[in-house]
Each structure stands twice: as structure tokens, then as C-alpha cells.
Chain A
Amino acid sequence: MAYSEQVIDHYENPRNVGKMDEADAQVGTGMVGAPACGDVMRLQIKVSEEGVIEDAKFKTYGCGSAIASSSLVTEWMKGMTLDEAGEIRNSSISEELALPPVKIHCSVLAEDAIKAAIDDYKSKQ
């Protein structure tokens, strides 16, 4: 399968790889997917008192498109408010990465991960 340049770039140089302390009240963690399906994404956000995402980290088990989707959203989310981040749609992710139809589910998973991380953060407040 041919990958787009954008996917290859994120895959070769993934942004914001890492892990934050899940117990920290400022941190929201979203883990979506399942090993059986071939992809698992863990997305974490660190939110300031003003409700702005200061930092984002990810780790992903999955194909190149799944890795690229999660890497891309960590870049986008930094500096956004929670409401802004919650409005990121999978279609913008797949468009930016030029994902082929069989890989659209990777962008859906990334959108789910964002929502899960935001929900987790909110549940801690």
C-alpha cells in the first residue's frame, strides 16, 4: 500500500510521543481501540486552570495511519481549549493525512481518543 507523504512524515518523526501521570488531576487520558482489532491509541492531555490544553502526548499500537493520526492530533490540540479540541472531526484528520478509504477508521479512532481524554479530564474535576 502506498502511504501519503504526510503519513510517512508523522510515522518517521512522530510528534509528542510519551506518557503523563494518569493520576494527575490536570491530566486527562483516553485509551481507545483493542489489540484484537490491530490498533490501540492512548492520548493524554494536560489542561491548565484556564481550560487550555498545555501539552498532549500519545502512544499508539497500530498501522502507520493510526500512528500518524494520533501524532497529528497531539500537534493540533496544543493551545486549544477543551471545547475547541472537542470539535476536531475525523474528516479533518483524514483529509490532512490523505488517508485512503480503508484507513478512515484510524482517524475515527483518533477522534474517539480525543473525546475520551477530555471526558476523563472532566470527570476528575
Chain B
Amino acid sequence: MKLPLYLDYSSTTPVDPRVAKLMCDCLTQEGNFGNPASRSHLYGWQAEEAVETARRQVADLVNADPREIVWTSGATESNNLAIKGIAHFYQKKGKHIITSKIEHKAVLDTARQLEREGFEVTYLDPDTDGLISPAMVQDAMREDTILVSLMHVNNEIGVVTDLAAIGEVTRAAKVFFHVDAAQSPGKVAIDLEAMKVDLMSFSAHKVYGPKGIGALYVRRKPRVRLEAQMHGGGHERGMRSGTLPTHQIVGMGAAFAIAKEEMAEENQRILALRQRLWDGVSDMEEVYLNGSIDQRVAGNANISFNYVEGESLLMSLRELAVSSGSACTSASLEPSYVLRALGMNDELAHSSIRFSIGRFTTPEDVDQAIAQVRKAVTKLRELSPLWDMYKDGVDLNSVQWAAH
């Protein structure tokens, strides 16, 4: 069976073969299998060295101090640790948290949990480009605000938040600023020495590293303190107990090191591919790119094909691995909450497909995707009563629909 063409790099990425090789070297008896916490023998020392090298590699990509990096199981855990950790530690200072409506569920559900515990959460509405501005954050700030949590790059539409500007606002108000950066390393330059971000969540598997490993950046100056969510052997300076998985950590370190080395060139190449994709489909009628065009990562193209329903479009695009809305919510019948938060109408939200281009995508892949998309959209529009009405000049908003 021919495998579908993979254009879903925002969902996850394959491990880079160079990374996989290094990981394999940390598993077997001949390899670096020791427990990094073992202080009494060479096996432990070697493993610890590999872990610390990786910590430096992660810190280097984002211009942080290695001592500010805490290993976790992934961005979901990092988000939980940052948000709950701050909320629980500083709740005497205040119980108000600010986030946005287009965050990943790992942030939104964590915020909901804190609401159940008695915290108050403000969910900011982005503008129609999907962006949160410093002024929106400023306006939502209260006396009792302790934390602002925003994503760096949105997983569905790929838009980039202006962290530097928002960091100025939060620091001036002495409010902690947490950033979910699951989608941004290797795609957008991150300089934590320059930006006033206090906590940042990372994941390895979006950057050609393995699944099951991530990190949380916790600023040292000014110091940020957290209440641990996982208790045990006191690993990671007590912030996150649990035996460190050397092979996973080595994989994340190597993946981040490669990203640092290659990101400038890679992003140029990927941007050209996205432009090729957009040029190939945008001459069809009623096709829209969702989210800001300028403030956006290179690999993301979230496109609405109006009057065509997303799930049926995916069915026609069986030879392409793409997603409709976010992979986490596409099993439900609801249109994407991110697109709705942009103020898009439901038809357009229902008709969206996210293409995400990555390291191993070729121009031929993009051309194949264009051909399939054009064929599918044309076929489904011929089947669509909404397309008929559009062609007949009927304003769909003027129709009295029988909602069900």
C-alpha cells in the first residue's frame, strides 16, 4: 500500500535519522544506559554527562542558561507544571490568570481546572488575524493578576505572538509570563535573555525529536518559583521528580542542536514550498488563508475552501495526511474553536484544512497535493447546494436555515 503524503508536521514530525542514531546509543548494555541520578559509578556519571550536554543544547537554541531548563514528558506536562505550579505557589498574591481563546487544550483545560479550584481566568479574544496584542493583555490586567499564559506559535494557524512586546507589559506589572512554545523552536528565533518571558514550554517531537520528552524553561533572574506537580526523588531541583530518560533527553538535545544549525536555511526552503502551495490553490474562487500572512511560521498553511465541508474534503484527500482543524478536536463535529475565535463564520471554519510542511517535504510533494486538492474541491463543489446558491447570487446569511 502506498503511504499517504505527509503534510502534517504541526501535528508531529518523524525523528531525524541523525537523532535516532544517538538515541539508540543510550539504550542497550553496550550503550549509555545508566541512571543519570546514580552518583556512585561510571554508568551514572556518563548518563549524567549526556543529559547535561542535552540540557545545554536545548538552552543554546533559546539563549537561556542550562540551569533554567527542567525536563518533562512534553509540552502538555510543561504547561501543567508552569500554570498550576505558579498558581499554587503564588495564590496568596492573587487568583487571576490571563490566557487566550486560541490556546492549546493543554493550557485551556489546565485553566479550567484552576477555575474549579477557585481561580479566575480571563480568556482573551484574538483579532481577526489570530493575534493577541500587548494592549489586549494590558487591558485585561488586574490588581490580583498573577500569570499571563500565551502560546508563541498557534498550532492550527501558525501565527506568531509578539512575546517581546507582551513581556514588557507583564514585567512592568510584575506578573509572570508563561509561553507555550511547543510549535516554535526551530521555526522562530527565541532569545530568552532578551525577552521578558518567565516560563516557556517545549516539546521535542515537533522538532524532529522523539515523543514523550519536553522541557520547561524556568527563569532564574528574576527568580520564578513553582509548586511541584510530581513528587518523588527530587530530580530537576525538586521541580519534577522521576528518573530522567537519557535516550529521550539526548534525542531532544540533538534535535534542538540540529534546529539551531539549520533553521535559517530550512525556513527559507519551507517558506518557498508554502508559497508554491498557496500559489497552486489560491486562484480557485472562494479560497482563504486563515490567520495573519506576515506574522506566521513558514510551514503552516491553514486554508478554507468555502462551500466545501472539511471532513468530506479530507475523505477525498485520502492520499494526503493533513488535518481539518486541530487533530485533537477533529473527531468531534464542532468546527475549530480557534477559527471561530478569529470571528470566522461556521461555514468557513468547517471548510478548513491545515497543511503543514516540514524538513522532508519536496516540491514534487507540494505539486501532488495541489493537484489532489483542486480535483477534490471541484468535485465537492459540484455536489454542494451552497456552491449552487453562491453561484446563483444567493446571500447565504439571508437564508432561514433549519438548525439541527
- A residues contacting B by CB (< 8 A) are 1, 3, 11, 14, 17, 19, 31-42, 59-64, 66-67, 102, 105, 108-109, 112
Q: Are B350 and A35 neighbours in the complex by a CB distance under 8 Å?
A: yes
Apart from A37-B404, A40-B386, A108-B404: 12 A-B pairs, beta carbons within 8 A = A3-B315, A11-B312, A14-B383, A33-B404, A34-B402, A34-B404, A36-B347, A61-B308, A61-B384, A66-B312, A67-B312, A105-B404
Q: Are B383 and A59 neighbours in the complex by a CB distance under 8 Å?
A: yes
* Residues of the A chain whose Cβ atoms lie less than 8 Å from the Cβ of B403: 34, 36-37
B372-391 interface (Cβ within 8 A of A) = 382-388
Contact partner of B311 (CB less than 8 A), chosen from A17, A38, A60, is A38
Q: Are A59 and B388 neighbours in the complex by a CB distance under 8 Å?
A: yes
Q: Give the tally of cross-chain contacts (CB within 8 A).
A: 82
Q: Are B333 and A61 neighbours in the complex by a CB distance under 8 Å?
A: no
* Residues of the A chain whose Cβ atoms lie less than 8 Å from the Cβ of B156: none
* Residues of the B chain whose Cβ atoms lie less than 8 Å from the Cβ of A112: 404
How far does the alpha carbon of A23 sit from the alpha carbon of B388 in the complex, in Å? Answer: 16
Q: Which residue of A lies closest to B392 (CB)?
A: A19
The smallest beta-carbon distance between B399 and chain A, in angstroms, is 9
Contact partner of B383 (CB less than 8 A), chosen from A33, A34, A38, A67, is A67
* 29 examples of A-B residue contacts, CB within 8 angstroms: A11-B315, A32-B402, A33-B402, A34-B401, A34-B403, A35-B345, A35-B347, A35-B396, A35-B401, A36-B346, A36-B403, A37-B333, A37-B346, A37-B403, A38-B310, A38-B311, A59-B388, A60-B383, A60-B385, A61-B384, A61-B385, A63-B309, A63-B311, A64-B311, A64-B312, A64-B315, A66-B309, A108-B404, A109-B404
The smallest beta-carbon distance between B192 and chain A, in angstroms, is 41
Q: Are B333 and A102 neighbours in the complex by a CB distance under 8 Å?
A: yes
- B residues contacting A by CB (< 8 A) are 307-312, 315, 331, 333, 335, 345-347, 350, 382-388, 396, 401-404
* Residues of the B chain whose Cβ atoms lie less than 8 Å from the Cβ of A14: 383
Contact partner of B309 (CB less than 8 A), chosen from A3, A34, A42, A62, is A62
Known: A35-B346, A38-B309. A17 touches B383 (CB 8 A): yes
How far does the alpha carbon of A63 sit from the alpha carbon of B313 in the complex, in Å? Answer: 8
How far does the alpha carbon of A53 sit from the alpha carbon of B153 in the complex, in Å? Answer: 55
User: Which of B331, B403, B404: most chain A CB closer than 10 A?
Assistant: B404
The smallest beta-carbon distance between A108 and chain B, in angstroms, is 8
* Residues of the B chain whose Cβ atoms lie less than 8 Å from the Cβ of A38: 309-311, 333, 335, 346, 350
The smallest beta-carbon distance between B325 and chain A, in angstroms, is 11
* Residues of the B chain whose Cβ atoms lie less than 8 Å from the Cβ of A1: 331
The smallest beta-carbon distance between B386 and chain A, in angstroms, is 5
* Residues of the A chain whose Cβ atoms lie less than 8 Å from the Cβ of B383: 14, 17, 59-61, 67
* Residues of the A chain whose Cβ atoms lie less than 8 Å from the Cβ of B309: 38-39, 61-63, 66
How far does the alpha carbon of A17 sit from the alpha carbon of B387 in the complex, in Å? Answer: 13
How far does the alpha carbon of A31 sit from the alpha carbon of B402 in the complex, in Å? Answer: 9
The smallest beta-carbon distance between B343 and chain A, in angstroms, is 14
Q: Are B386 and A61 neighbours in the complex by a CB distance under 8 Å?
A: yes
How far does the alpha carbon of A17 sit from the alpha carbon of B384 in the complex, in Å? Answer: 10
How far does the alpha carbon of A33 sit from the alpha carbon of B386 in the complex, in Å? Answer: 11
Q: Which residue of A lies closest to B386 (CB)?
A: A61
* Residues of the B chain whose Cβ atoms lie less than 8 Å from the Cβ of A109: 404
Q: Are B315 and A40 neighbours in the complex by a CB distance under 8 Å?
A: no
How far does the alpha carbon of A36 sit from the alpha carbon of B396 in the complex, in Å? Answer: 11
The smallest beta-carbon distance between B244 and chain A, in angstroms, is 38
How far does the alpha carbon of A40 sit from the alpha carbon of B311 in the complex, in Å? Answer: 14
User: Which of A14, A31, A34, A112: most chain B CB closer than 10 A?
Assistant: A34
The smallest beta-carbon distance between B392 and chain A, in angstroms, is 10
Contact partner of B312 (CB less than 8 A), chosen from A36, A37, A62, is A62
* Residues of the B chain whose Cβ atoms lie less than 8 Å from the Cβ of A61: 307-309, 383-387
How far does the alpha carbon of A76 sit from the alpha carbon of B113 in the complex, in Å? Answer: 51
User: Which of A1, A17, A33, A37: most chain B CB closer than 10 A?
Assistant: A37
How far does the alpha carbon of A105 sit from the alpha carbon of B332 in the complex, in Å? Answer: 13
User: Which of A40, A42, A66, A102: most chain B CB closer than 10 A?
Assistant: A40
Q: Are B385 and A31 neighbours in the complex by a CB distance under 8 Å?
A: yes
The smallest beta-carbon distance between A99 and chain B, in angstroms, is 13
How far does the alpha carbon of A41 sit from the alpha carbon of B309 in the complex, in Å? Answer: 12
User: Top 6 closest A-B pairs, CB basis?
Assistant: A34-B401, A36-B346, A42-B385, A63-B311, A35-B347, A59-B385
How far does the alpha carbon of A14 sit from the alpha carbon of B383 in the complex, in Å? Answer: 9
How far does the alpha carbon of A19 sit from the alpha carbon of B296 in the complex, in Å? Answer: 42
How far does the alpha carbon of A31 sit from the alpha carbon of B382 in the complex, in Å? Answer: 17
Q: Are B347 and A63 neighbours in the complex by a CB distance under 8 Å?
A: no
How far does the alpha carbon of A64 sit from the alpha carbon of B318 in the complex, in Å? Answer: 12
How far does the alpha carbon of A33 sit from the alpha carbon of B333 in the complex, in Å? Answer: 14
Q: Are A33 and B401 neighbours in the complex by a CB distance under 8 Å?
A: yes
How far does the alpha carbon of A62 sit from the alpha carbon of B383 in the complex, in Å? Answer: 10
Q: Which residue of B lies closest to A103 (CB)?
A: B333
How far does the alpha carbon of A19 sit from the alpha carbon of B391 in the complex, in Å? Answer: 13
